[in-house]
Amino acid sequence: MKQFFERVESGYENGEPLHIANPDRSGFAIISDEKFRDMSAQAVQELIRHKNVVITGCQYPKLKFDEAGLRTLAPLDSQVSFIGTCLICNMDLLNNGVDYTFSPVAKGQNTTPATVSGLVSDILDNARDPDGKILNAIDFPACFPVLDDIPNHLSFATDVAAWDYLRGKPYCGNFTNQYPTAHMRWGLAGTANSVTFLHIDSDGFATFVRVVTGKKVWGIVPNHQLSSIDAFLYQGFLLDEIPAGSTLALEAIVLRPGDIL
C-alpha cells in the first residue's frame, strides 16, 4: 500500500492531486449530478471515452454501517463470500480448514487473494472488535439499482443497451424476460482498511460504483490502453506491487456518500 500511495502522490502538482491542480491532465472528470443529467448522450459518451467520471451530489439512501444498514443488502444470518489473502507459502492451509484470512504478511512475502465464507453479521462483529479481522464482502446481488434513476443512462450503459437490442432475437430469450439484475448489479460491504488491488472487471463492462456510507479510495491507471491484453504483458504491471522501474502512473480519488463513479 505504501508503494501505491507513493506512486499516486508522485503525480501531484504543487502538493495537490491532478483532479484539483490540473483537471485537464487528470484521468478523472468531476461533474455535478445536475449538470450530468442535462448532458446529451453524445456528450456523455465522448466524456467517458477519455475520463473516469465522478458525479457528485447524487441522492443516496441515508444508511449507517449497522444492523439496519446491512439488512438492506441481505439478512444478517446469510452466508456470503469474503475476499481474503493468504501467504503463498501457506497455500496448503486451504485444504486443512485452518483460519487463514488476512494472515500477517512479513516484508518481502507476496500474497495471493483467497475467498472465504462467513455470515453478514461477521462484518459487524469484526468491525466493532478492536482486534477484528478486515473483511470485504463481495456478493450482495440486485441491491440499489444505482443508475436506473438517471434518465439518460441508457445512452452510456452498454449492458442495458445490449440487453434491449438482443432480447427477442433468436436464442436470446423473449421480451418478457427480465433484465438479469442479480448478475449485473450488486452491493459491497467492507470494514475499514479493506483493499481490492488492481484489476479489470470482467465481460468488457464499464464499472460504476455509488458510495452509500463510509468512504472509498478509488485508484486508476490513467492514460493507459487497458483494453489491450498488452497491458498485462508489460513487466511493470503487477496486481499488488509497484516494481522498480515501472512507468505506470497511478491516480486516486476519495469517494464519499453521494458520489457515483
Q: What is the pLDDT along the chain (261 residues), one digit of tens a residue?
A: 888 899 999 999 999 999 999 999 999 999 999 999 899 888 988 898 889 999 999 888 888 999 999 998 889 999 988 886 544 433 444 444 444 444 444 455 555 667 888 899 999 999 999 888 888 998 887 665 544 555 556 566 777 778 878 888 888 878 788 777 777 778 899 998 888 877 776 655 667 888 989 999 999 888 666 566 676 677 777 777 888 788 888 999 999 999 999
- Kindly state whether residue 153 falls inside one of the protein's structural domains: no
- Kindly state whether residue 8 falls inside one of the protein's structural domains: yes
The pLDDT of residue 89 is 38
> Any idea which residue has 436506473 for its cell?
148
82: left (phi over 0), alpha (psi -120 to 50) or beta: beta
- Kindly state whether residue 22 falls inside one of the protein's structural domains: yes
- Kindly state whether residue 138 falls inside one of the protein's structural domains: no
Three cell numbers, residue 80 = 456470503
Whole-number Å distance between alpha carbons of 61 and 50: 30
C-beta separation of 120 from 66 below 8 A: no
Query: How many domains does the structure of the chain reveal?
Result: 1
Three cell numbers, residue 72 = 438492506
- Kindly state whether residue 6 falls inside one of the protein's structural domains: yes
What pTM was computed for the model?
0.80
Three cell numbers, residue 234 = 508489460
- Kindly state whether residue 45 falls inside one of the protein's structural domains: yes
Whole-number Å distance between alpha carbons of 157 and 169: 20
Neighbours of 87 (CB within 10 A): 17
Which domain does 245 fall in, by range? Answer: 1-60+210-261
The pLDDT of residue 126 is 92
> Angle CA(196)–CA(201)–CA(204) in degrees, nearest 5?
170
- Kindly state whether residue 248 falls inside one of the protein's structural domains: yes
- Kindly state whether residue 254 falls inside one of the protein's structural domains: yes
